[in-house]
Amino acid sequence: MSTTHTIPKRPLTWLITGCSSGFGLSLTRIAQAHGHTVIATSRNPSRTPDLVQEVENKGGKWLQLDVDDPSRGAQVIEDLEASGQPIDVLVNNAGYSIYTAGECFTEEEVRQQMETLYFGPFRLIRAAVPHMRKRRFGVVVNFSSGAALEGRDSMGAYAASKAALDGLSKVLAKEVAPFNVRILTVALGTFNTNMGNATIIGKNPLPEDYRGSVAQQMMDYMSSGKFEGNGDKDKAMKAVYEVVTGEGVGAGHLDERLLPLGRDLDARIKQVQAYLAHSLEVFGEVCNNVHREK
């Protein structure tokens, strides 16, 4: 397949959410090290003054942005665009996960998870893409998870939120490709980020039937502080940077829409492939024989 997307030969301006640690901070440092302009954001910049100074000393900006705020995200983008600082690359990274069995989530917990992982990114995308479309260039990078493909027990709300953004991304990618705007989904396995320390357990107690279940084991493990992902976040973000810019492992791949990262993610993809293939093995005949006869 020939490459249809192009990228300008100039430094790009990146807007990255969730930059106080983990993937966001790593990608910020990599982009700046390669001469790009980064507008880093976090919910509470005052908590990380050293990081704010580091980014701004290298020519970047650090802005307060709570993606849950219905008006803040769009306002940040409109203000930057109006000031003559167009966003070339939008990276939706900010997030967290809440854990409990599916029947135990409160509606408030699920709505809050969706707010951070789906509606927040959606509002930023909705604000940024029109500008990218008019300029005939832009990249939206949405950080997803193996949970969106096949979630682990106790991660139903997180899996649903990530899958929702994946669904939007797949459709949006088709719609904006003619305008040289690219939507890249980064499917991540487990990495050495702060996710284990940001664990939230649902407030409703698990029913007795779940005692000793995989869901309970996952909840206990994730809240123990012992979680350590087996992936290197800096190696992963180097790959993200290169796939966005078409350098290194991304050379010749500017049209790709999905970047899988992590050995455990490789196994998850194969699990989903087997799940789909099995469904056709069992029900393929009926699948192909429920059509209307002409």
Encode 272-288 in three state secondary structure.
HHHHHHHHHHHHHHHHC
Q: Which amino acid is at 89?
A: V
pTM of the predicted structure, to 2 decimals: 0.95
Q: Assess whether 158 carries a catalytic annotation.
A: yes
Tokens coding 63: 């802005």
Residue boundaries of the structural domains of the chain? 13-265
Contact yes or no for 204/235 (Cβ under 8 A): no
Question: Active-site residue among 20, 97, 154, 162?
Answer: 162
CB atoms within 10 A of CB 69: 16
- Show pLDDT as tens, one digit a residue, over the chain (294 residues): 446 899 999 999 999 999 999 999 999 999 999 999 999 999 999 999 999 999 999 999 999 999 999 989 999 999 999 999 999 999 999 988 999 999 999 999 999 999 999 999 999 999 999 999 999 999 999 999 999 999 999 999 999 999 999 999 999 999 999 999 999 999 999 887 776 667 799 999 999 999 999 999 999 988 887 777 789 999 999 999 999 999 999 999 999 999 999 999 999 999 999 999 999 999 999 999 999 988
Question: Active-site residue among 118, 158, 210, 241?
Answer: 158
CB atoms within 10 A of CB 252: 9
Contact yes or no for 261/231 (Cβ under 8 A): yes
Question: Active-site residue among 42, 144, 145, 161?
Answer: 144
Name the superfamily (CATH) of residues 13-265. NAD(P)-binding Rossmann-like Domain (3.40.50.720)
Q: Assess whether 162 carries a catalytic annotation.
A: yes
For residue 81, count CB atoms less than 10 angstroms from its CB and return exposed for 0-12, middle for 13-18, buried for 19 or more. middle
By DSSP bridging, strand 37-42 and strand 138-145 are: unpaired
In whole angstroms, give the CA distance from residue 18 to residue 235: 18
Quick one: DSSP state of residue 43?
Answer: S
DSSP E strands in 110-212: the ranges are: 138-145, 181-188, 200-201
Residues in Cβ contact with 31 at an 8 Å cutoff, skipping those fewer than 6 apart = 12, 14, 16, 38, 241
